[in-house]
Chain A
């Protein structure tokens, strides 16, 4: 999923303070599941925003809310938000609590409306429950090799993104960059060994074709 975190409240207040009408749009996709920008967080932000703007700047504003199933769905955004956007026409802005794709979908559908990102998008990853932390897992490189690397992505999880690792800095299975973290290539080695597929560890991967993942990427379907 996409891992994100809410921006500091002061930052959001500063961005929102000059508007009279605000529409907070949440997302029940990754953002909601990770409790960053789902229904509950949208309600909270509405309350805090109204209160803080009043106390700090003596300002009463109208705050509308809406939480979408997925904010990165263009059709869904268009059909669900259109009536609400009408209500914030007078000096209004949208605060989006989705990832960068959600923010830009909203902005794309309503190009005249100012959209304030309420979150910083961090990475594509997973929550490791035991540790209560999130780990980056996929860089969307466009050429998945996970079948060959025991389900562990070296491009993402090796600090140097090496395709023929490990580097000489690996220390007893830990990464040279951060000894509290496992070396991705040590993990790959262990995983392949456990699967009886160590021959794959010997496989040489030629230099990547960076055109595959050069931004901005477009996919036109096949």
Chain B
């Protein structure tokens, strides 16, 4: 049994249904907005993820908001790290800084390719990938050394999570990929958006053997365009059941644009209720970038 360093891990292991949410650091020098969002979410979630250059767009380094949220808001952060923009030296130094600042949860992801981003001419790095990043973090935490075995002064206390896509086709391939990382030693999984309860159930069934807490990704949509983007363009591919699509489209037709979000809040809450009732999901991870104000509503409706 590994030591527990964070509230998130404690709650995940306690069997409580855990809520986490996600915010972006943004292309900004302003931390106030981030703190505001953190305060709004504080009483609803156990931890807040801060994304690392999401969609390959150059944002503020997420380490800073991750720290500020913990210090000024008093809610734990999940510091996300992608392998796209930094080589292992830069990642090790960021992790050391994170450990020094009291960050306790890290999410290791590969990262979208630079061509999707706002500086598509950039050189993609990928010196590490999400698996080798997990391997690095384990070495730092368990052995107190970096990748090359150099000793680190002081303790490194992280829990490491990975992302996964329950919608992946073929799912077997996704499961094998997770198995590879489970062997390395991961603490939790936060998934890509799930709209289809059957997709969540099948995924949870498949990963049950790993005995790793899973937070299912919940993504409210605020427009029909956004819904279509998920279905057609989102990297990895997302399934939205036909009847759910129809409900959203009907809301748009009957009551106008704003009703889509209202309907989506309702749908998200239903989904969470169903997850709580009928699955062994450890919780949900809610992503509503740019309209985080709906997160408290979804959580209220779902519990």
Contacts and interface: CB of A to CB of B under 8 A. Distances in A.
B100 interface: no
A161 interface: yes
Contact of B177 (A160, A163, A166): A166
Contact of B112 (A163, A176, A201): A176
B126 A162 contact: yes
A207 B88 contact: yes
Interface stretch (A19-27, A40-48, A167-175): A167-175
* Prevailing SS type, chain A contact patch: loop
B131 A167 contact: no
B28 to A, nearest CB: 26
Contacts of B165: 168
B168 to A, nearest CB: 7
B183 interface: yes
Interface centre among A162, A167, A177, A210 (most CB of B within 10 A): A167
Interface string A189-217: 10000000010011111111010000000
A160 B132 contact: no
Nearest to A177: B113
Given A171-B236, A202-B180, A204-B184, A161 B126 contact: yes
A114 interface: no
A6 interface: no
B124 A160 contact: yes
A140 to B, nearest CB: 18
A172 B88 CA distance: 30
Interface string A145-174: 000000000000001111111111111110
A186 interface: yes
B289 interface: no
Contacts of B250: none
Given A177-B115, A207-B88, A210-B127, A170 B132 contact: no
Interface of B: 84, 88, 109-113, 115-116, 124, 126-132, 135-136, 147, 163-165, 168-170, 173, 176-177, 179-180, 183-184, 192, 235-237
Given A160-B113, A186-B173, A205-B131, 9 more contacts: A164-B180, A167-B129, A168-B235, A177-B115, A204-B131, A204-B184, A207-B132, A207-B147, A208-B127
18 contacts: A160-B113, A162-B129, A163-B129, A168-B165, A169-B112, A170-B168, A171-B169, A176-B112, A176-B116, A176-B235, A177-B113, A204-B135, A204-B180, A204-B184, A205-B131, A205-B132, A207-B147, A210-B127
